[in-house]
Structure 1
């Protein structure tokens, strides 16, 4: 019905009609259809596709100057509506009097009221279509809720009739039930999470504020209870039996959800046969089941310092799907023949069953590669495979580097807890040779799967990374020239140009700032139904196939492999169905990934701040990690980062943005990113994850 109405109103010969005239023109006579027609007409108007002119007759939104966009609300009360349009159109100024009850980042419907010069527009908000803020989590005190990281100047009130049983300093989750132009919002309590002094309440607050869910619904648990806990004989039908092959896993010391296993051998023609065997999650998580719906809703597992919120129930993630040692497990295998130059000359994608020989760890494999005699003796049957893996991974890494793959240096912290759950220490996760081996093998498997489905032109989901922002890259090269590196911005930028710049600054005081600026110029990687390539990796084709226990896109890839290759379903009905659901899966899982990353970073910052408690007044050595107009951030060797606010500087400072430098007005001393400095700890706020330093001469 929507398409019927819209297509008619958008037609070239359409003249504005009222509701009755339009209904007659569409030949809607049946009373039930007429009711549906009026309902659909109202929906189209509410959603901003059509509107009424001054004569109460319907026209398209475009002809009436009705637009949609996201509101950028300024502190002064006015705002700008950032329009949804292709090609991009100028933002629309919304005066304070025309904002209504819309809030910052609300998705709004608006009408243009003034135009000037063809580039300046003014408008009025008609209604909010999607609220950016629907729920809040914070501390309740005397009738109001105070979220800890709320930048906007809002007051969240709980009406007296909804305060029954509430205790001051409770941490609560609430729904906003009434918005108002004066930024005083009425809220209704959804859940009381605990008291502000309860152990672990800060992490529960993060979980609730990001709308993460710990427990699985009863319907999901009921489905899981009916799944087998071991591989059945009936599960082996049409599977290739690899249970006698030397296949094993390599993971971190405390990994419980094991997605991937590896096998390798040298062929008579001196090529390598690399097998990447991935848990066949889609065999157990069938499309449309309650388990599948919940997995899509979660999108990813979330790792929060001392706990995991899994995408799948533990019966699957740690049980029947996990490639644990000495048990049969169902897998989908990508078996690749790779020549000594690193080129894939042949591959197979197969349904398989494996029996992992051992659960190896990165530490053990690294020690074996370092000739640890005791471990070599203990794992003698695997030593040849480990040596071949190292050999092949070096070839693959060299080839990837030659093709322009960009390697950013990143340091990953590990939080060590005591028996009471308090932070005892923060160490740096070691990255040895074996971590690089697994990374290379996962990359080439993901690349092979993506290339296969791109070649056969079937609807699919890809992991994409688009080209960097041109202006930011130009700023990067300008900055590089300003600090003494005579490098020109190429007319056609390739990954190799960025590689060259990273090599020029390697092991210099400018390495960190160039890395940081280059990272910030990059687009965010995301999922898409379109194969746009992966710029950072310099891959034309890329997807995520190797972690279906913890990422829903990988589960989707497995499901498509099963549908297209194993079940041979490529009929038009199947293709139409897949094509129709891929955009939403790509969009929702990209959002879930970003949400998980923000929550993980928030908890990590809180735990780092907790570790610094009681150390106030101590002096630490660190490096300047970021420079801003309001101060500089100092990063300690254990990755704890704190702010030196501009107000704490001992002398007046000038911020030279084009050189990313602070210059002391009197001393003429320069402070740049990567510079080693000493700083005194002034204070810590573990609930907000904030650490404050001041520079020490």
Structure 2
């Protein structure tokens, strides 16, 4: 078709300019079809034909993009698209990014999610990590968008993880590792290279009304008999990245140590030492303590904490940085570590090895005789660890039994360090953080990867010393950056929610322990409760209930303080090898204090990006905790698989309407007892009492009660253990009359609620 005759400017009269058409497309992403544009400018006849040619030219020149019938400015979002909720803004609103994005289109755009319109059909509100179909609004001047959720999408169905089993009839089945999934039948042709006993990923190929669904092997992960198979289940089930891309490994191998040119200072003569677990391969922190010789600070001490300078090697925007952000943190299993950074970085260049030069970030802190921090300063240094000690070695040396490694540094380094810790301890006691005593179990494995034994390691003063030094360094980092008005990721911990406070108050009433109402609780109030039950039978119960009342700590650029530590400002600075949050803080300090390359001064306009990262690494932390717990559960379940029928001493550790949970003494194995297996009575869960109470007798079981249980069933791959109760219920002081009254009131409330809903 020939082009229409052109008047002035080469186009029919009334045809808008190219600039006007491009501006309309940019400003009206919802109404940018050819018909919309023609209608908006009132084009008819030859002018409509000219518009078609103008649009073709704009598209050929890359000034507009065609998306179906619509046209759009390059890099802008379509009217409707799938987003992934990645975090929250300063007001608690949700923020999101496109679920799929071509990096060639530019930086990943940010979308703030608007609240649902009033009167709309009710939708399930999304949360961080959800995928949502979203209607995209106009682009703001800062490049961001506002979106309104059309519907929340089901999370992408992951491949099923399971073990190949041979049936009695010669066929094959997949035994899923998740207890809620059903078995799959699998044809020999769909096995691939898998063999019975292999751990595999399977996709469901057919499901019918009758019989088992069918599946096909996608990947053979390895033999279930291999040492690390159990942790591999958790890695795959939780989607934990565990294989470093080639470009990440290449960057790590190419990394080089820095020199000692300013602003880096030479601190190799400062007698810093590392104190870590005996099995540690990476040493990311070193400490030193000494008396302050300043006459104006009598009885004061100077504490220095040096942390591996990861920011020198992992630069913003690099492949190493992108992978570290995706992982969020290292994940620790009994049989392996899935590191945040490649071993070349974490176990070599950034590991503060004894007698070897290593770059570090150091904070020098001055404390007065009462343990109050008077001042601090940050330095970028080159250091050399003067000794590598385990917690046990350091503690034994202080207790009077130094070995050959600790003895040379006992008088010159360890004793001054312990004197400085005694000073810090005064400050900690004055601060009164929450002092919960929750024993931490540790699984020791045999050479074949199975459980050898479960222990609760002693909590040594050496552990507490390092912990308090790290806390003070983290506080100093937060204070410095806040003073510099530099954006950062805080480690925040909110006070217990009012509903949890009220539930705790009702529970403590049953033990005749008061808890003040109204005023905002402080950690000291919880410590007073814990001290009242110390060395009593109620101690494990009360510690558990107080722990359940606490909020969950997380990362955020918006500071609300840390309730548990009783600190107004707190940031993670001391473990950049294994936590991305710490790396962000290092970069912020380097940028704000002018300490050389590798810093990242985050401008205020990028705060939403920081908020998004905080949400992602908080989510990664929760993912790691779940994966670690699942692995421990599976290992212990496998360890107990041949002891069905044995009896064990245990303690009630939790409960729900369906039954109660118990933890075995010594082993720490967790299992479930259905309410129907508790006895002849009909048992109900009393939330206020934290008890399962018999309907007729008023007797039952409370959280923390010691009980005897019999192992009834083990599903090793699912980490599921079921017990039967052997102990008789105890008198809870609940008469049938009081129980029926309480139940009658509860039924009356439910009836009233049903009536209100009908109205």
Q: Normalising to structure 2: TM-score of the pair?
A: 0.74
Cα-to-partner distance string for 1:634-670 (whole Å, 9 max, x where unaligned): 2223222222222222331343332112334566544
1:46 to 70, 75, 80: 80
Tell me, in whole angstroms, the C-alpha distance in 2 between the residues paired with 1:297 and 1:177. Answer: 31
2:315 to 274, 286, 309: 286
Partner of 1:224: 252
Cα distance 1:88–1:137, how it changes in 2: closer, same or farther (>3 A)? farther
Structure 1 position 346 matched with structure 2 position 375: yes
Partner of 1:79: none
1:598 to 621, 626, 630: 626
1:583 Cα deviation after fit: 2.2
Instruction: Structure 2: give runs of 5+ residues left out of the alignment.
Output: 1-18, 42-50, 84-95, 97-111, 136-148, 166-170, 728-759
Structure 1 position 131 matched with structure 2 position 155: yes
Structure 1 position 204 matched with structure 2 position 232: yes
Cα distance 1:492–1:395, how it changes in 2: closer, same or farther (>3 A)? same
Partner of 1:265: 290
Kept after mapping to 2: 8 A contact 1:548/1:555 = yes
Partner of 1:684: 714
2:463 to 415, 430, 435: 435
1:446 Cα deviation after fit: 0.3
Partner of 1:487: 515
3-state SS of 2:547 partner: helix
3-state SS of 2:359 partner: strand
1:106 Cα deviation after fit: 6.0
Structure 1 position 540 matched with structure 2 position 594: no
1:129 Cα deviation after fit: 4.8
Partner of 2:685: 655
1:336 Cα deviation after fit: 0.6
1:330 to 343, 359, 373: 359
Cα-to-partner distance string for 1:598-628 (whole Å, 9 max, x where unaligned): 1111111112223323333332222211122
1:543 Cα deviation after fit: 0.8
2:325 to 287, 291, 296: 296
Kept after mapping to 2: 8 A contact 1:609/1:690 = yes
Partner of 1:499: 527
Which range moves more in the overlay, 238-247 or 157-166? 157-166
Partner of 2:610: 582
Counterparts in 2 of 1:97-176, with a 5 A limit? 107-109=131-133, 129=153, 131-139=155-163, 147-149=176-178, 151=180, 170-174=198-202
Cα distance 1:6–1:453, how it changes in 2: closer, same or farther (>3 A)? farther
Cα distance 1:604–1:587, how it changes in 2: closer, same or farther (>3 A)? same
Kept after mapping to 1: 8 A contact 2:289/2:420 = no
Tell me, in whole angstroms, the C-alpha distance in 1 between the residues paired with 2:351 and 2:599. Answer: 33
Tell me, in whole angstroms, the C-alpha distance in 2 between the residues paired with 1:89 and 1:157. Answer: 48
Tell me, in whole angstroms, the C-alpha distance in 2 between the residues paired with 1:573 and 1:431. Answer: 39
Tell me, in whole angstroms, the C-alpha distance in 2 between the residues paired with 1:127 and 1:304. Answer: 37
Which range moves more in the overlay, 244-253 or 580-589? 580-589
Cα distance 1:571–1:376, how it changes in 2: closer, same or farther (>3 A)? closer
Partner of 1:252: 277
1:382 to 398, 404, 410: 410
3-state SS of 1:265 partner: strand
Structure 1 position 319 matched with structure 2 position 343: no
Partner of 1:530: 558
Tell me, in whole angstroms, the C-alpha distance in 2 between the residues paired with 1:572 and 1:368. Answer: 42
Kept after mapping to 2: 8 A contact 1:261/1:277 = yes
Kept after mapping to 2: 8 A contact 1:137/1:208 = yes
Cα-to-partner distance string for 1:241-298 (whole Å, 9 max, x where unaligned): 1111211011111111111000111112332111000011111112222222222221
1:360 to 378, 389, 394: 389
1:91 Cα deviation after fit: 10
Kept after mapping to 2: 8 A contact 1:425/1:611 = no
Cα-to-partner distance string for 1:197-224 (whole Å, 9 max, x where unaligned): 6554333222222222333222122222
Tell me, in whole angstroms, the C-alpha distance in 2 between the residues paired with 1:570 and 1:555. Answer: 10
Partner of 2:109: none
1:683 Cα deviation after fit: 3.0
Which range moves more in the overlay, 280-289 or 607-616? 607-616
Partner of 1:61: none
3-state SS of 1:215 partner: coil
Instruction: Structure 1: give runs of 5+ residues left out of the alignment.
Output: 11-15, 50-67, 69-82, 96-101, 112-124
1:508 Cα deviation after fit: 3.1
Kept after mapping to 2: 8 A contact 1:325/1:357 = yes
Larger Rg over CA atoms: 2
Cα distance 1:202–1:252, how it changes in 2: closer, same or farther (>3 A)? closer
Aligned-residue CA RMSD (Å) = 4.1
Partner of 1:115: none
Tell me, in whole angstroms, the C-alpha distance in 2 between the residues paired with 1:198 and 1:375. Answer: 37
Which range moves more in the overlay, 194-203 or 421-430? 194-203
3-state SS of 2:178 partner: coil
